[in-house]
Structure 1
Amino acid sequence: MNTLFDVSGKTALVTGSSRGIGLALAGGLADAGVRVVVHGRNRDQVDAARSGLEKSGRVETIASTFDITDPAAVADGIAAIENEWGVLDILVNNAGIQRRAPFTEFTFTDWNDIVATNLTGAFLVGQQAARGMVTRGSGKIVNIGSVQSQLGRAGIAPYAATKGGISMLTKGMCADLAVSGIQVNALAPGYFATELTKALVADEAFSSWVRTRTPAGRWGDVADLVGTLIYLVSPASDFVNGQTIFVDGGMTAVV
Structure 2
Amino acid sequence: MPSVSHSTFRPAFRLEGRVALVTGGSRGLGFEMARALAGAGARVVINSRRAAPLNAAAEAIAAATGAQVSALPFDVSDIAAGRDALAEIEARFGRLDILINNVGARDRRPLKDFLPEEAAALIATDLIAPMMLAREAAERMAARGHGRLIAVTSIAGHVANRHDPVYTAAKAGLTGLMRSLAVDYARSGITSNAIAPGMFATETNESLVNDAAFSSFVDVRVPVGRWGRPHEIGPAAVFLASDEASFVNGHVLVVDGGQTIRM
| TM-score, reference length from structure 2 | 0.93
User: Does 1:221 pair with 2:229?
Assistant: yes
1:108 Cα deviation after fit: 2.8
After TM superposition, list the pairs within 5 Å mapping 1:134-145 onto structure 2. Answer: 134-145=142-153
Residue in 1 that maps onto 2:185: 177
1:45 Cα deviation after fit: 1.2
1:189 Cα deviation after fit: 0.5
Residue in 1 that maps onto 2:4: none
Percent of aligned positions that are identical: 38
Q: Distance in 2 between matches of 1:218 and 1:71?
A: 38
User: Does 1:129 pair with 2:137?
Assistant: yes
User: Does 1:167 pair with 2:175?
Assistant: yes
Q: Distance in 1 between matches of 2:152 and 2:230?
A: 13
2:121 to 113, 117, 135: 113
Residue in 2 that maps onto 1:17: 25
Q: Distance in 2 between matches of 1:3 and 1:219?
A: 31
Residue in 1 that maps onto 2:240: 232
* Contact 2:16–2:40 under 8 Å retained in 1: yes
The alignment partner of 2:175 has SS state of helix
* Contact 2:35–2:65 under 8 Å retained in 1: no
2:15 to 7, 23, 30: 7
After TM superposition, list the pairs within 5 Å mapping 1:1-255 onto structure 2. Answer: 2-255=10-263
* Contact 2:38–2:65 under 8 Å retained in 1: no
| TM-score, reference length from structure 1 | 0.96
The alignment partner of 1:56 has SS state of helix
Q: Which amino acid aligns with 1:171?
A: R
1:109 Cα deviation after fit: 3.5
* Contact 2:21–2:44 under 8 Å retained in 1: yes
Moved runs in structure 1, 4+ residues, more than 3 A?
1-4
Q: What is the total number of aligned residue pairs between the two structures? A: 255
Q: Which amino acid aligns with 1:134?
A: A
Q: Distance in 2 between matches of 1:132 and 1:121?
A: 17
Q: Distance in 2 between matches of 1:113 and 1:35?
A: 32
